[in-house]
Amino acid sequence: MAEYTYTVEKTCPICGEKTHVTKLKARLITLETDEDFCVHYQGVNPYRYRGWMCEHCGFAADEKQFTEEPISTHDREKIKEMLEGHKINLPYTEERTAEEAIRAYKLGIYFAERLGWSLQKQAGYCMGMAWVYRDTEERDKEAEMLRRAAELYEESVMTEHYPVHGMSENMAIYIAGAAYYRLGDYGKATQILSRLMSDQEVRRNDAKLFARVQNLWIDLREKKAEMEKAGK
């Protein structure tokens, strides 16, 4: 695994202790990309390492919360209160198991929900979990997290001002639609993606995204035609 990863020390934004985290080396070989932007790489699943955890206090979040996005004093104190009296055993290992990755995501969601952090961020954690489950072929658990992510993205688009954490509103809409497509909910996927298909601004200003929307739209029509032919 050292071929793909390395260990660095980062300061926990909550307890101030140095904690170890795994970083991925830049040159990864891409094998394929799924409809919902889950990228498959040779030899490593990067989604196992998106959730960072402090091995001392138990705080978990994504890399940005540890490095780029300052946590407010109010949230920091609230997190300390949440962690007080809880002993979370989080020994660091550079190579994570799927179970360890899921635990990091679950802790990240726990803090994000209770602190009222953006729905877009919570949706991203759920997508990460779904992609870990996809890799381990746990289809029921993957489906559960995909649906939860899609619903959060939908709610986020309706209630949050985009861009959020670098993601555009159109990208959030697309990922929600792609998630429903992966779930086999073609009616819901069509309903969501139609917003982008009919948006001339997307066609003009984001050609790459619009091309993905078009390709998925064609696949949707084929899937729906197959279902109608089968009498479903």
Q: In the prediction, which pLDDT does 232 show?
A: 61
**With contact defined as beta carbons under 8 Å apart, do 149 and 126 qualify?**
yes
Q: Which amino acid is at 70?
A: P
Measure the CA–CA gap between 42 and 156, rounded to whole angstroms. 33
Q: Parallel, antiparallel, or unpaired: how do β-strands 60-62 and 39-41 relate?
A: unpaired
pTM: 0.93
| DSSP percent split of the chain into helix, strand, coil, nearest 5 | 55, 10, 30
Q: Say what the pLDDT of residue 3 is.
A: 86
| Model pLDDT, residue 89 | 66
Residue range 193-227, pLDDT digits in tens: 999 999 999 999 999 999 999 999 999 999 988 88
* pLDDT of res. 206: 95
- Report phi then psi at 138, rounded to 5: -95, 80
Query: What pLDDT sits at residue 224?
Result: 86
Regions in the chain scoring below 70 on pLDDT: 1, 89, 232
Q: What does the pLDDT read at residue 154?
A: 98
Q: Which domains does the chain have, with CATH numbers?
A: 1-100 (no CATH), 118-232 (1.25.40)
Separation of alpha carbons 208 and 174, rounded Å:
12
Q: Residue 85: what pLDDT?
A: 81
Element (H, E) at 33: strand 30-33
